[in-house]
Amino acid sequence: MLEQEKVVVTGIGLVTPVGIGTTNAWQSILACKNGFGTVQSFDTSKYRVHVGAEINDFNFADHCPELAKNYYGRTTQLAIVGAKLALENAGLQNSDLTDLRKGVAMGTTSGEPNQVERFNNHRIAEQWDQLGAEYMDTYPCHSIPSNVANTFGFHDLAPIMLPAACAAGNYAIAHATDCIRRNEADMILAGGADSFSRITYTGFARLIAIAPEICRPFDKERKGMIPGEGSGFLVLESLTSARKRGANIIAEIAGYGTSCDAHHMTGSHPKGDGAIRAMKRALKDSKLTTSDVSYICAHGTGTKSNDVNETIGIKNLFGDNAKDVAISSIKSMLGHTMGAASAIEAGICALAIKNNILPPTANYETPDPACDLDYIPNAPREGKVSVAMNNAYAFGGANASVILKEFNN
Amino acid sequence: MKNRVAVTGLGSISSLGDSTDKFFESVCNASLDFRKIEFPEDYPDLKIYGSYIEELDPKFYLGDKNFRPLDRTARLSLIAATQAVESSKWDKEKLHTNEVGLSLGTMFCSLQSITHFDYNAQTAGVQYAKPLDFANTVINAAAGQLAIWFGLTGPNTTVTTGYTSSAQSCLQAYKTIIYDQAKALLVGGVEELSHPAVIGISRQNNLAIEKEHPLPFDKNRSGFLLGEGSFFMMLESLESCQGNKNIEAEILGGANKFDISQGKDKEQTVSTVIKTINEALAESNISADKIDFVYASANGSETFDDIEAIALSQVFENNNTPIPTTAVKSITGDLLGASGAMQAVCAIKTLQTGKLPGTPNLTDSIIDSDKISVSQQTIDIDANTGLVINIGMDGLICVMVVGKLC
């Protein structure tokens, strides 16, 4: 490997069911606020479940009035606002960045599924005349990072969409890390976005994977996940660039690891095989060991199988250290924001490092013998967070672990 | 010192052939296969032609196995990927042991399956939405299915950058190998001709409605026609495979860029295309006069064919002889996200056979430069190095350089 640039986090933008804006989302998570409610965006009367994690107070025009006239899908809107908040958080909103090589790397599970739903609504209603060019201008998911790139002038690199389902945000961060390490870019907006979708909700409902009321990851009484929506972006920057402009460095991307279970399309490997390989690769890439890890931001969906398999994977890799590492699932509050999830969680890892606060797993009541690690139940914990591992697992068996660490000058 | 990247296996399926040799022979023979697309009864009545596979039976290629979990996109991918794996002498055990990864480029992946899943739930009832089909509604479904099929436990990436998706997936894989992050990767592209995509693209006025074949680089062009298929390559670090593998070709380099004008400012788009080509040449340590042929992106688009022709004439302006160029989409149709892989596979066959396919039906060329030569017929050339160009109407541009191993 050639000599690498260091990659640092200089901005975080979060749009979540528990708060829009990085500070709002962080404070809500520390307060164990639930983002769940009765689904508003479509009729669930024919479903057995009715709860979702929608962002009901999200209004694109409030955040980007100058763009309100444009036709964007909801995922694109969430992404643009997430990216804008990340740039503001980095203090870049009014900066002249023309000398920097900038790009956008994104992940998603479904892109703009609402456009497919629109297509079907028109088909069923025999209203083809109401389907215009906007359908195909909007649906292909690569249009989302292209719109982010256009909006903020981050188009020195070709924008890219890496749809790795629920691990997609981490895949985007990994890609951006490579680009900066290889000195192809100075600054990349890396993140993920997904909007609340009838298709996704129907699928998880049919898998009987949706919890009826509340999400309780790692709890013996857990009943499933709760689909959500959101976006998360990190401003990733080469250390050279960050130093040059005197940026506030929140954390460093130490490394990443990706793998595939090659086992099942919707279920994780029962021994955590792929997850272990992703974590191992991430540690190797970061030149760290399991004993260095202070905190694991778990995938922690709240389904029976995920939480057990994830626990098995951590225990197999961490061995005796497994009981000592603090683990939590913020999906207990946000629900599962799909392709945005691991990007949002990476932002939370960076905030945990910056503030030396471990975010909790909410709604945890009954310990499960099969999930017997420290899940930081129901309240945040103060403590030194030097190294945070962010784990994400996805349909198709895609796994991605990203490790963030405290930046030491 | 960067690694070099060898192509050790190829795989192809489209309506023009179900192996790379058959496909390339059909392309060289200009065996056009555009047929009227048959839509479901409740779709708009459109007369649109496309090049698609009438009956796709994976059992014919892969034996009597359970293909129910795989939708059409995954089946197309599987057939082409199997050819690439087998021709590169990998087997399932070695792929698994070596933790080989996959990079798949696609613009729409399983749009047909996604649309059908929702349509079925809305019309028949939520209880009739099949959990098995839900797995195919994520955009990385085909890549996940291939990983399960072949035991690919390495990084599993789906790349969507529109028309350049599979070119970009090849470029990503190339970089992964040159920077020693992997020794081998299965890379490719897939695009299914899905009804929702056809309707959508027709609404953008990009398709050549009621035309029986596209006319790239022709003054009478009026848009493109869609194709479908899948094309795969096994990429390996040259150092790890030299001496024990049949090496088809070498990926010498590549580059990508984003043109924010997306063709609206012609001068700017031309400039971005030229910059991308020049960057790809520089990455490959090769000058324009060493390029022997070009697989152009031209598909019949009124705007972008013109832009590409101007860009090519400027890139090759110092050449003494015109650069042989083909618009292969005149034969295959535009395979959208699979185009880059298809063109790369064709370019490798040109390196091996010395045959550069023609651009049939080109009668009134827009090219007024003596630096570019586009022939109606397949021609024989001395081919050592070729340029593969992908220009998306969405502003994304990706260029690759392939060469004979030397």
Of A218, A244, A270, the residue at which a domain comes to its end is: A244
Q: In chain B, what is the straight-line distance between the N-terminal and C-terminal CA atoms, in Å?
A: 18
> Residue B131: which of A108, A135, A206 has the nearest Cβ?
A206
B121: nearest CA partner in chain A: A202
What residues does A387 pair with on adjacent strands?
A405
* Separation of alpha carbons A3 and A224, rounded Å: 44
Mean pLDDT calculated for residue range B307-331 = 98
**CATH number of the domain that A261 lies in?**
3.40.47.10
Active site residue A32: no
A 13-42 residues inside an 8 A Cβ radius of B: none
Q: 3-state class of B84 per DSSP?
A: helix
* Separation of alpha carbons B95 and B79, rounded Å: 17
* DSSP assignment of B13-29: EETTBSSHHHHHHHHHT
| Residues B356 and B379 placed together within one structural domain of the fold | yes
Of A190, A210, A244, the residue at which a domain comes to its end is: A244
Residue B217 belongs to what domain range? 5-249
Q: How far is A251 from chain B (nearest CA, A)?
A: 24
Chain A CB contacts of B191 under 8 Å are none
Q: Which residues of chain A have pLDDT under 50?
A: 1
pLDDT at A203: 98
Active site residue A166: yes
> Residue B257: which of A116, A158, A273 has the nearest Cβ?
A158
Band (pLDDT 50/70/90 cuts) for residue B245 is confident
A 274-313 residues inside an 8 A Cβ radius of B: 274, 277
Pick from B86, B103, B80: nearest CA to B192: B80
Name the residue with tokens 């974590």. Answer: A279
Mean pLDDT calculated for residue range B252-259 = 97
pLDDT at A1: 44
> Residue B140: which of A136, A142, A398 has the nearest Cβ?
A398
Chain A CB contacts of B130 under 8 Å are 206
DSSP B5: E
Q: How far is B200 from chain A (nearest CA, A)?
A: 5
Amino acid at A128: W
How many residues appear in chain B? 406
A178: in domain = yes
Band (pLDDT 50/70/90 cuts) for residue B293 is very high
pLDDT at B109: 95
For residue B104, pLDDT over 50 is answered with yes
| Residues B241 and B260 placed together within one structural domain of the fold | no
Q: Mark yes or no for CB contact A116/B115 under 8 Å.
A: yes
| Residues A99 and A152 placed together within one structural domain of the fold | yes
Work out how many domains chain A is built from and give that number.
2
* Separation of alpha carbons B212 and B47, rounded Å: 10
* DSSP assignment of B92-119: HHHHHHTT-EEEEE-SSTTHHHHHHHHH
Q: How far is B213 from chain A (nearest CA, A)?
A: 23
For residue B314, pLDDT over 80 is answered with yes
For B213-229, the pLDDT digits (tens) are 999 999 999 999 999 99
At B181, give phi and psi (nearest 5°): -90, -15
Whole-number CA gyration radius for chain B: 20
Active site residue A263: no
Mean pLDDT calculated for residue range B284-300 = 98
Mean pLDDT calculated for residue range B321-347 = 98
Residues 6+ apart with CB under 8 A from B352: B248, B249
| Residues A337 and A369 placed together within one structural domain of the fold | yes
pLDDT at A3: 64
For residue B279, pLDDT over 60 is answered with yes
Whether A159 has its CB under 8 Å from any CB of chain B: the answer is: yes
ipTM of the complex: 0.97
> Residue A111: which of B43, B123, B139 has the nearest Cβ?
B139
Whether A362 has its CB under 8 Å from any CB of chain B: the answer is: no
Chain A CB contacts of B136 under 8 Å are 265
pLDDT at A93: 82
Whether A45 has its CB under 8 Å from any CB of chain B: the answer is: no
Pick from B12, B51, B44, B9: nearest CA to B185: B9
CB pairs under 8 A between A and B: 226
At A176, give phi and psi (nearest 5°): -65, -40
**CATH number of the domain that B204 lies in?**
3.40.47.10
Q: 3-state class of A21 per DSSP?
A: coil
Q: In chain A, what is the straight-line distance between the N-terminal and C-terminal CA atoms, in Å?
A: 23
Of B227, B249, B271, the residue at which a domain comes to its end is: B249
Tokens of B309: 């022709």
| Residues B229 and B299 placed together within one structural domain of the fold | no
Of A211, A244, A277, the residue at which a domain comes to its end is: A244
